[in-house]
Amino acid sequence: MAKQYITNGINTSTTRVSVAAEDMENVAGKAVKLNSDGLLEICNTKGEMPIGIVTIDNEADVSKGDNVTYQIFAVGIAAISATVTAGTELTPGSDGTLVAAEAGDFVCAIAMNDCNANAMGTVKRVDYYKKEAK
């Protein structure tokens, strides 16, 4: 697998590293959670609370057992699967990409710019431990 050399190296946001629970494709910018074994997996239920967003300097595809770096708060880059405008509250979709939050969804980020569908966009992570479901 080729290493992605795109980086968010000037981003000083706090990141963590966890072990992948499964093989994952195109992980950059996707919302992730920890499973019951403490391993990292892509969020797969719309509106659930993620632990973070995978940074874009990981391998494009990761294998079970690989280390994966993810951002836990502040401003970063995320995969957006639906068109949103700046200021839109976002939640994980069923594939780990972010979508506009609706009533009952957990808000994990706010779009900082207008984003086209299936694009990378700048988002401001919110303190999701203090943010209630929308």
Q: Using CA of residue 88, residue 86, residue 32, residue 25, what is the dihedral sign?
A: positive
Give residue-wise pLDDT tens across range 21-31. 999 999 999 99
> Is residue 125 within 8 Å of residue 73, measured between CB atoms?
yes
Q: Which regions in the chain score pLDDT beneath 70?
A: 1-13, 125-134
Q: How confident is the model at residue 57, as a pLDDT?
A: 86
CA 49 to each of CA 60, 66, 99, 113: distance values in angstroms, whole numbers, following the listed order: 23, 23, 13, 22
Q: Does the predicted TM-score (pTM) go above 0.75?
A: yes
H or E element, residue 125: strand 119-125
Q: Using CA of residue 19, residue 23, residue 28, residue 30, what is the dihedral sign?
A: negative
